[in-house]
């Protein structure tokens, strides 16, 4: 079975805490992703939060203005995995935490990438025939 790092197909799409709700919506649409990793340059580019489609929907349901900064609605509890971990562990984390995206971090905590439930299922499917 592959390692998590082998599932990453492109660099992660990131946001900054000062980006706005509309910035995030536009970025998700442009890159066709369901989540963004929030990084702060002052933190050495390490992930500080995640913004998922669910977070965006909640913000819109709460009638937050499109000019609202990401800091107001981002999920600061990051569930992460290292690139050398098995894909099965990624699946377990996603199931146990009810999430569809995992932040992949290097041993030093720097951002390596992101994997989605689709990436994980695609790999697991190759082992279930």
Q: Is the pLDDT of residue 128 over 80?
A: no
Local confidence band at 44 (pLDDT 50, 70, 90 cut-offs):
confident
- Residue 22: pLDDT above 70? yes
Domain count, the chain: 1
Please report the pLDDT score of residue 18 as a whole number.
92
The DSSP element (H or E) to which 47 belongs, if any, is strand 47-52
Instruction: Provide the residue range defining the domain that includes 69.
Output: 4-125
Give the H or E element holding residue 90: helix 87-97
Q: What is the CATH number of the domain that holds 44?
A: 3.10.580.10
Kindly report, residue by residue over 58-101, the tens digit of the pLDDT.
999 999 999 999 999 888 899 999 999 999 999 999 999 999 99
Number of other CB atoms surrounding residue 86 within 10 Å: 14
Instruction: Check whether 129 has a pLDDT greater than 70.
Output: no
- pTM passes above 0.75: yes
Q: What is the pLDDT of residue 111?
A: 94
Mean pLDDT (the chain, rounded): 93
Higher pLDDT, 129 or 80: 80
CA atoms within a 13 Å half-sphere pointing along the CA-CB vector of 14: 20
The confidence score (pLDDT) of residue 42 equals 80
Query: Which whole number is the average pLDDT over 20-24?
Result: 97
């Amino acid at each position: 079975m592959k390692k998590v790092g082998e599932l990453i197909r492109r660099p992660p799409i990131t946001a900054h805490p000062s980006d706005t709700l509309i910035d995030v919506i536009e970025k998700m649409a442009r890159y066709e992703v369901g989540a963004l990793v929030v990084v702060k340059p002052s933190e050495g580019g390490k992930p500080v939060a995640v913004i998922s489609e669910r977070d965006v929907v909640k913000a819109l349901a709460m009638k937050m203005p499109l000019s609202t900064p990401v800091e107001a609605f981002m999920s600061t509890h990051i569930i992460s995995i290292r690139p050398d971990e098995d894909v099965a562990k990624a699946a377990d984390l996603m199931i146990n935490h009810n999430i569809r995206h995992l932040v992949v971090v290097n041993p030093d905590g720097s951002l390596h990438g992101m994997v989605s439930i689709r990436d994980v299922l695609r790999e697991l499917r190759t082992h279930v025939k």
